[in-house]
Amino acid sequence: MTGERVNRRPIASRESGWARRIAAWLAAKGVSPNRISQASLLAAVLAGLCLWAGGRGGGAALLVAGALLVQLRLLCNLFDGMVAVEGGKAAPDGGFWNEFPDRPADIAILAGLGYGAGEPALGWAAAGLAVLTAYTRELGRGLGAPADFGGPMAKPHRMAAVTAGALVGCFWVPALAVTLWVVAVGAALTVALRAWRIVAHFNRP
């Protein structure tokens, strides 16, 4: 449990009253954190499909739905940890379900956005770089460095960019491609900074 707390992403909303009430309600209803983590992946896949279809002429409603599903994915990411830790519902395989769904979730959303923008290669590049940010964090942690959730394009930042891009895309479709460039460049910078901080951690006198 202590290791799980150390490796938790710092999220300000975790301390808010509304989040605590919802997490307590989910725990009281017997909803397992693993199911919430799995629901986050489902929301991400649906978000990617909506962004794909919305960008290719499906209409603003699908882009709005994609944006809302991206936020649902983040809410699931918030509540799975809260139900596990604060709600005392952690399972032996909870560490796997806490981390694994985030990788295909990022891919589904960013690749879907890429197809919606008519820039599939850019979407896959952004997705690959997003996964690399997590790999770099976990590499450092595996080597004994503190978990680094820093940006400028960590998961919350990526999802905020996609949400904003999808909403602007309702009126200006090129915003979808612009968003992917922002995410890709920001994720590449995030990987470089995290790698630098890992090396600096071990080279400290």
Q: Which CATH class is domain 2-202?
A: mainly alpha
Say what the pLDDT of residue 11 is. Answer: 75
Nearest-10 Cα torsion for 3, 9, 13, 15? 20
Residues of the chain with pLDDT under 50: 1-6
What pLDDT score was predicted for residue 95? 87
The residue type of 18 is: W
Question: Distance (Å, rounded) from C-alpha 44 to C-alpha 59?
Answer: 19
User: Residue 102 and residue 91: Cα distance in Å, rounded?
Assistant: 18
Q: What is the pLDDT of residue 7?
A: 65
Distance CA 134, CA 148 (A): 9
Domain range summary for the chain, segments of one domain joined by +: 2-202
Q: Output the six-digit token pair for 71.
A: 């936020």
Handedness of CA 94, 98, 101, 103 (dihedral sign): negative
Q: Render 57-85 in DSSP notation, one character per residue.
A: II-HHHHHHHHHHHHHHHHHHHHHHHHHH
* Model pLDDT for residues 22-42, shown as the tens digit of each residue: 999 999 999 999 999 999 999
Q: What is the pLDDT of residue 5?
A: 46
Q: Report pLDDT for 16.
A: 84
Radius of gyration of the chain from its Cα atoms, rounded to whole angstroms? 17
End-to-end CA distance of the chain: 31
Looking at residue 13, what is its pLDDT?
Answer: 75
Identify the pLDDT of residue 154: 94
